[in-house]
Amino acid sequence: MTKPSSRSEQAARYAGMFAALGAEPRLRILRLLLAAHPDGMVVGEIQSELRISPSTLSHHLEKLRNKDLVKVARESTFLRYRANAEAMREILGFLYAECCTRSRAVEPAQIGPRS
């Protein structure tokens, strides 16, 4: 993954990532792949779990792959998808820096699961 060099390139990259996550099926796919990290899942497993038609699933996986949110590897006749942990760290770091360190809109201690 090549890191963007300027702040405007970085903002454009993150905007694309957020746009890809803006579709409910893609967010569900990414959540599923994060839960399966680091092994990932083959397409049939994703399809079975989320009950998405093959053509629709293919479309959503391609969008996520194009925005570098998932990685794909061929295993024999199967395609295995994994969440791109580095891209997730990058986008979470961006959000954290903007909301919790620079502007203090959200205090760092307030981030995380609520009991």
**Predicted confidence (pLDDT) per residue in 58-110, tens digit:** 999 999 999 999 999 999 999 999 999 999 999 888 888 777 777 667 776 76
Per-residue pLDDT tens for 13-26?
999 999 999 999 99
What are the domain boundaries of the chain?
Answer: 8-98
Helices (H), the chain: 7-21, 24-35, 43-50, 54-66, 85-96
pLDDT number for residue 6: 80
Element spanning 82, H or E? strand 78-83
What fold, for 8-98?
A: Arc Repressor Mutant, subunit A (1.10.10)
> Model pTM?
0.82
